[in-house]
A = this chain, B = another copy of it.
Amino acid sequence: MVNYEFGAGIWMFQQFIDRYATDAYGPPVSTLEAIERAAEVDDIKVLDINYPFAGKGVTVAQVRETLQRTGLRAQAITPHLYMREFQMGSFTNPNPAVRRKAIDLGKRAVEIAHQLDARYVKFWPGQDGFDYPFQADYQRLWDYSVEGVGAVAQSDPTMQFAIEYKEKEPRSHMFFSSAARTLLAIEDMGVDNVGIVFDLGHSFFAKETPADALQLVARRGKLVSVELNDNWREWDDDMAVGSVHLVETLEFLLALRRINWQGPLLLDQFPFREDAVAAARASIKTMRALERLLDRLDLDALKAAQEQQDALKAQRIALDMLLGTNLVL
C-alpha cells in the first residue's frame, strides 16, 4: 500500500452556489474557516488554495498562521481567473488590458505561492474558450493561451506551474480541454516549468482513459499534480472518489504506482448537498481500501495477461481482487 499523503482543493470546504440555487447551498466560508474544516478531516495535509482569498480582509499572514496551527501545508495556489471580470476570458480575453490583468493576477499568485511555500501555481482558465460556432478565431485562442501562460511562467523560472484541463464549464468549450492538447500547447510555450495537473474526473469527462492519459503526461515529464473525484462522464459532477467508476479508479491508482507517483493525492469535490468533511473522509477511505486491494494484486499475472492483451484474464485478476473472488470461490 502506497502511503499517499492526501490533500484537497480548498473550495470543497467553502460555499457552493449554482445558477439555480442562487441563494447558495450554505453560508459563506472564509479561506481561514475552510482551512479549519479541512483540518477536521484529519487525513488532509495539503491544500490547493484559491487567491484572492475568501473573506473580508484575510491576509497571507493569517493564512500562513492558520495553516501552521492546523498542521496543513499549501500545496498550490490557484488564482481566480474565472470571476466576473474574466467572463470573456483571462489569457484569451479579446481586450489586451484584461489579458494583462490575468497575467498580473498570475504573477501575484506566484508571490503568494512563495510566501506560503506552495509547490506550484495552478492555472485553470475556465473562461478561456468559446461558446458558439463561428465565435472564435481558434488560432488566436491558441496563441493567446500559449503566450499568457508562458508569460507568467517565464516571469519566475524558480516556480513550477501546472495547467488543469477540462472540456467545458463555465465556457461551453474550454481551451485546455484534454491531456494531449495541453501537452502540445505546453510545447509551444517553450518553457520548462509548466506541466499538468491531472484531474481524474476531467479525464473521464474528456472521454480519455485516465490510466492511459496519465502515462502519456508522465512519460513527457509533465505530471505536476494529481487530483481525484468522480462523475457521470458527461459533466464535471465532482463527486466522491470511486462512487461511479470504481474499476477505472482502481486502474488509475495502479497506473500511479507504475509511474511511481510519490506526491500527494488531492481531492477535487463539490459536495453541494453533503457535509464536506464527511465527503472528504469518504473519498480517502475508499482510496485507502483500493490501495490495500492493490497490494493483493498478482502483478506478474496481470503483466502476463496484458502482454497477451487477454481481456478476460486481466479482468479476472482485477475483479477477483476487487470482489475477493479468489479467496471466496
**Which stretch (A55-63, A107-115, A156-164, A315-323) binds chain B?**
A315-323
Cα distance A212–B167 when bound, in Å? 14
Q: Are B292 and A132 in contact (CB under 8 A)?
A: no
- Minimum CB–CB distance from A260 to chain B (whole Å) comes to 13
**Is the CB of A4 closer than 8 A to any CB of chain B?**
no
Q: Are A306 and B136 in contact (CB under 8 A)?
A: yes
Q: Are A137 and B289 in contact (CB under 8 A)?
A: no
**Is the CB of A282 closer than 8 A to any CB of chain B?**
yes
Q: Are A274 and B134 in contact (CB under 8 A)?
A: no
Q: Are B317 and A134 in contact (CB under 8 A)?
A: yes
Cα distance A4–B172 when bound, in Å? 30
Q: Are B180 and A308 in contact (CB under 8 A)?
A: no
Q: Are A289 and B138 in contact (CB under 8 A)?
A: no
Q: Are A18 and B170 in contact (CB under 8 A)?
A: yes
Cα distance A318–B133 when bound, in Å? 9
A234-B237 contact given A19-B17, A170-B272, CB 8 Å threshold:
no
Copies of this chain, whole number: 4
**Is the CB of A293 closer than 8 A to any CB of chain B?**
yes
**Is the CB of A239 closer than 8 A to any CB of chain B?**
yes
**Is the CB of A219 closer than 8 A to any CB of chain B?**
yes
Q: Are A20 and B272 in contact (CB under 8 A)?
A: no
Listed residue (A89, A309, A310) with the most chain B CB atoms within 10 angstroms of its CB: A309
Q: List 19 A-B contacts (CB under 8 A).
A: A20-B83, A20-B127, A21-B87, A21-B127, A21-B170, A23-B84, A130-B309, A131-B272, A132-B311, A136-B309, A138-B212, A138-B215, A142-B215, A235-B235, A240-B312, A273-B311, A275-B312, A286-B323, A292-B328
> Hey, which bits of chain A sit against chain B, CB under 8 A?
15-26, 82-84, 87-89, 92, 94, 126-127, 130-142, 167-170, 172-173, 178, 180-181, 183-184, 206-207, 209, 211-212, 215-216, 219-220, 231-235, 237, 239-240, 242-244, 246-248, 251, 255, 258, 270, 272-275, 278-279, 282, 285-286, 288-290, 292-293, 302-303, 305-312, 314-319, 322-325, 328-329
